[in-house]
Structure 1
Amino acid sequence: MNKLLQAKAPFTVLCLAALLAGGCASPSYTITPEMQARAALENPAPPKDEDFPALNSAKWQQGAFPSLEALRNMRTGLGKDQVRELLSFPHFSEGLGGVREWNYIFHFRTGAGPEYITCQYMVRFNADVLTNGMYWKGPGCADVLKPPVVTRPAAAAQPAVAPAKTTLGADGLFRFDGRSLAELLPEGRRQLDALASDIKGGVKSVDTIRVTGHTDRLGSSTYNQALSLARANTVRDYLVQAGVPAQNMQVQGKGESEPKVQCAQTRRAELIDCLAPNRRVEIEVFAQR
C-alpha cells in the first residue's frame, strides 16, 4: 500500500503543478460561432502597466523564447486549450478557480548575437472562457510581430496598386449553412485552388490579403456575424494550406451589414434565391504584380 502511494505521489505533484499553472484546467468544451462573435465584439479596456504581475513573482522566472508564428495565430475567440497549444502554460501562478487571465514572460533576440529583450504578455478571457484581449508590456514589445521595415531607394519605389478583388459566392463554396473545411464543396475547393495558384504565381510580392465574410439578412445578426467570420476563417485556412503566406492575411466577418442587393419577395424560396449575392466571401489581394 505504501509503495502504491509513493508511486502516485510524483504524478499527483505534476497534476497539481499543471492546475496551478493553468488556473485549474477543466475538461475541454465546445466553442460555438456565437461565443466567438461575442468575444470579438467585447473590446475590453487594456490593462495598465501596474496591472501586470511583477517579474520576480513568476512561477517560472526563466520565461521562454516563443514562436512568432504562434503569437501571430493568437486572436479573440480562442479557448484555453488552444492558447496552451500555441504558447504553453503561463509563467505565473494565476490561481485555482475562475481564472480569467494568463501571464507570460517572453524573450526576443535583437540580432545575431546573444542579446535579447524581455517582454510581458497578458491573455485575458471573457465569461465564456474565450480570449477577448492580448496585451504587451515593455519597450518595443508591441512591435515584435510587425513585419520588418524594408528600406528601398526612392527610384525603386512602386506606384500604389489597387487591390485585386475576388468575390466567391458562399452558396458555391459551402454546403447549406456550412462554415468549416469539411463543408467546402468540390467547386469551392477548385475556386480556392485557382485563387491560391494565382496569388503564388501571378504577383511579385504580397503586402496584405484581406478575407471578408458576408451573409444575407435571414437569421439573427449575432448568428450572421459568427457565420460570416467562421467562413472567412475557413477560406483563410484553406489558402494557407495551399501555400499562401499566413502572416500576410487579415480576416474579418461583416455579417449582414453590407448587402449587395435588397429583396422584398414574400415567398421564402424566392427570397433566398434573390439574396444569394449577399452570401459571399471577398478576397482582396494587395500586391505588386
Structure 2
Amino acid sequence: MMKFTQLAGRMSALAAAVLVLSACSSLSKVKSDGTTDEPVWPRWDKVTFHKTRGTFPDAGSLVQVKPGLTKDELYYLLGRPHYGEMWRPREWNYLFHFHTPGQGTNGVTTCQFKVLFDRNMFSNETYWHAVDPENATCPPQLQEPATPVQQQQYHRYTLSADVLFAFDRSSEQDLQPRGREELSELVDKLRNFDQLNSITVIGHTDYLGSDAYNQRLSQQRAETVRRYLTAQGLPADKIRAVGMGESQPVKQCDNHGGRSQLIACLQPNRRVEIQVDGYGSR
C-alpha cells in the first residue's frame, strides 16, 4: 500500500493531469439494454467511498466481471461503487489503483471503471478510463486467478426474512423456529464443502419506513444471521454481513388496498441472501 505522503503527491499530480469532468456519476445516457453511446466519467476527486483513495482491486475478481451479473454478484466481486449514486442507478463507477513499477505516480497506475446495467438491473457493458497517467493502458495486464474460474463455484441461497424473523424484528431472540431450521440445514451443506473461501450475508428490506431505518434493519438482520452461522461452527473470519436496505427490490407493488395487502405483496423484497464462494461440495 502507498504511504499517505506518496498518495498526497500522486493526487497533486492527478489534479494537474486530469480534465475536470462531471461530478455526477449517473449522467451517462444508459439504454434499456445496458449500453451507452458516450460514457460520462465522474471526477476522480469526487469519490464518496474510501474518500479520494479508491481501492486496489483483486485481479482474479476483475476478470470475472461479465454481462449478466446482478448487483449483489458485482458487489461481491468488487465491493460497493466508489461514487455516490442515485436510487436504483443504471451504472456503477469505481476508482482503481494498480501497482505498475516504473509507470504512473510512485509506481501506481490509476484507472476508472464503469459498469452499466440493463432495465432489469443485470450488468452489460463495462468501460475503462485512464486517469494517471492519461495514456495508461487500463486495466494494466490483469493476471488470471491462481484457481481457474471454471473450478470456482459461487452459490447463492435466499431465505425469506419473514421466515427468519417476525415482521420488523432483527435480533437473535427474534429468529423463528423455521428460520433456525433452514439456517441449520444450510450450515450442514456448507460443512461438506471441500473448500470454503468466504460467505457474504446480505440483508434486504421492503420500502416501508425511512431509508435510514431500512438500512439499519437490513444490516442488523445480516449481522444476526452471521452470528448464527458462526455459532454453528462456520469460520467467523470468512463470514461478513452487508445491509442493502430497500435498494434492491425484486418485486414492485402498487399502493392500492390496505397496509396488510401491501405488506404481503412486498414480502419477496424482505429477504436474506447468503453468497458462498467455495467448491467441491460432497
TM-score (norm 1): 0.46
Larger radius of gyration: 1
Q: Say which structure is richer in helix.
A: 1
TM-score (norm 2): 0.47
